[in-house]
Chains A and B, each alone.
Chain A
């Protein structure tokens, strides 16, 4: 696979923190059937850089985050943290791992315990990860200042239901930071929040990334926010990474037909004579019909996962799943027909990865 020679757009920002190498996760569903939630996914996270994992619900992006967080057992693959392979054999191992790798969830309503105060939510991880001799009270206040939950005194005794969505998410961020992690996995951290404060929260995350030199994985279904927030974007479809590249390049000139569909589907206020207003459907683009039909069972996983919706699909696509092909130094896409789908990106019909086995 040519994937290994591909340089991440995030690499320039800092040293390598975490490597995900050929991660796969199958879930057993019913008798003898498996759902391949994550398939052969590889990427790197660098200190001080944001990598975005973009995909629709069911694409496996959250499962990938849970694998990295150690909350799900790998079916196959390797995770390396600071060059060392991660092996969680005991509770102590797991705790040490969690003090390096923290996860922030989407829903600030269900990720905080309703019967505990903000103080409890923050004191616990401080004691757990920084030892009993830590100056707990002082540390908690400083955490709250980091996430701008100020004045801290006013919030310490509050319960989650007394906080707004944004304030709750700030508590979640502070809780994640209490472990002083090097890697922060943020699973849709702003999508439950009100539009007006989403940017504020993304700015806060960005600020924390810079201040603590965090290696960040930003999981989202909103490719537009990834354009602004991330250095590199990985587009996931049906458990596979179908395209990757620098955020700006990928969103402005998507190569894979699925990424093209994603970009074309985003609301476009400038397109006032759009298909929606005119009442007619767009021509020549894949549509959502046939969605997820290849996730219903293992039988339909033959070939490229996107082939039922792809306007360029042919027999080859239905037969064999394309590997990620290098398009440039920093970009790759898994498509047999990049020369047709994105002719401006691929000069000539070039096939880096040849189909070897059937």
Chain B
């Protein structure tokens, strides 16, 4: 593995750490992932640092193509060519493993022991992730037998008790995926992830395809299970409003880099980076006064040829000439009482007023001047 010193403005290592006192269960250091294409390397994840504390829920936010899934899958060695991890280390410190190990250097047999038993994943599309020709019990047994040594009877009992755990009646053991509602399928996925009582569960948009009511029910279930079983969660979603409510810390990603990391409360009250502000302003809210909503016009940059400086400049309402020279270093927000609140934008503080909009594209208008 060759580090690229020229392009490696790694953040100070203490900045991305979780609450002091506990060493993180997963420690991603200076990770880079590229997609090899004939037109050049797409730098999907560019020298990022992230630590996940024991029992912590960390949210990865960003629009599609920001690299959040690539980061999670790259860190767990789930990517296939043309994706290539080019730099970094991912240290795993589980309670059941004797000493910390770098996942990126593991041999295949070590990886097999790590997967599912230590780190499990809940994928977005439960319909595609479940095998349509196996019933729920056989899917669960499959996961159990693949990763745990267990007599048949015990495994069956385990499958049934996993369903209890996620609130599905045991009578559904013989159901096939197509006979279950979307919410139930996602619960089965969660049950499978819990099969070996992992230390970390990576959840990749687990509720995006579901209705809000079911979504809320499942999230409440996840939180309850987390409190009971004590695993850590890396929660990937584009829905920042959901993360604000669910997670302890949020890492906002843009163009393969983190642009802001802070506790959920800080992100909610004192978000600093213009991209975070844009994301927060992309969701119509149901409560409170009607705000003017603008979203984030434009689209992410081509990561084969990332622009110099801050990649968000073309879409940023605060952009100024100096932005071309910014190196994307995460530094503490000057006005924040929390030293762990870091941002890649050196110019915009939480209370910086939005400069007057340039009257060009009509896309920056409020959704509707309702009430007028």
Which residue from B278, B287, B290 sits with its C-beta under 8 Å from A196?
B278
A272 and B212 contacting across the interface, CB-CB below 8 Å = no
The interface residues of chain B lying within 8 Å CB-to-CB of A292 are: 181
**Segment touching A, from B71-79, B153-161, B237-245:** B237-245
Task: Tell whether A198 pairs with B282 under 8 Å between CB atoms, given A56-B211, A228-B293, A248-B371.
Answer: yes
A261 is an interface residue with CB less than 8 A from chain B: yes
A298 is an interface residue with CB less than 8 A from chain B: no
Q: How far is it, in angstroms, between the C-alpha of A196 and the C-alpha of B300 when the chains are bound?
A: 10
Q: How far is the CB of A242 from chain B (nearest CB, A)?
A: 14
Q: How many residues on the A side are at the interface (Cβ–Cβ under 8 A)?
A: 52
A56 and B214 contacting across the interface, CB-CB below 8 Å = yes
Q: How far is it, in angstroms, between the C-alpha of A353 and the C-alpha of B246 when the chains are bound?
A: 43
The interface residues of chain B lying within 8 Å CB-to-CB of A267 are: 212, 239, 241-242, 244-245
Which residue from B213, B245, B293, B370 sits with its C-beta under 8 Å from A272?
B245
B295 and A199 contacting across the interface, CB-CB below 8 Å = yes
Which residue from B220, B283, B299 sits with its C-beta under 8 Å from A195?
B283
A203 is an interface residue with CB less than 8 A from chain B: yes
A198 and B241 contacting across the interface, CB-CB below 8 Å = no
A196 and B296 contacting across the interface, CB-CB below 8 Å = yes
The interface residues of chain B lying within 8 Å CB-to-CB of A275 are: 220
- Over the window 280-297 of chain B, the binary record of Cβ atoms lying under 8 Å from chain A Cβ atoms (1 yes, 0 no) is 101111111010011111
Q: How far is it, in angstroms, between the C-alpha of A269 and the C-alpha of B288 when the chains are bound?
A: 11
Task: Tell whether A57 pairs with B211 under 8 Å between CB atoms, given A196-B296, A229-B368, A276-B223.
Answer: yes
Task: Tell whether A266 pairs with B286 under 8 Å between CB atoms, given A194-B64, A196-B296, A207-B362.
Answer: yes
B279 is an interface residue with CB less than 8 A from chain A: yes
- Over the window 65-89 of chain B, the binary record of Cβ atoms lying under 8 Å from chain A Cβ atoms (1 yes, 0 no) is 0000000000000000000000000
The interface residues of chain A lying within 8 Å CB-to-CB of B183 are: 288, 291
B219 is an interface residue with CB less than 8 A from chain A: yes
Q: How far is it, in angstroms, between the C-alpha of A36 and the C-alpha of B214 when the chains are bound?
A: 22
Residue with the highest number of chain B CB atoms closer than 10 Å, among A197, A200, A225? A200
Q: How far is it, in angstroms, between the C-alpha of A271 and the C-alpha of B241 when the chains are bound?
A: 11
B367 and A195 contacting across the interface, CB-CB below 8 Å = no
Residues of A within 8 A of B (CB): 56-57, 148, 164, 166, 194-200, 202-204, 206-207, 221-225, 227-229, 247-248, 251, 261-263, 265-272, 274-277, 279-282, 287-289, 291-292
Residues of B within 8 A of A (CB): 63-64, 167, 181-183, 211-217, 219-220, 223-224, 226-227, 238-242, 244-246, 264-265, 268, 278-280, 282-288, 290, 293-297, 299, 362-363, 365, 367-368, 370-371
**18 pairs, A vs B, C-beta closer than 8 Å:** A148-B363, A166-B299, A197-B296, A197-B297, A198-B282, A223-B212, A227-B284, A228-B290, A228-B370, A229-B284, A269-B241, A269-B245, A269-B285, A272-B268, A276-B216, A277-B245, A279-B223, A279-B227
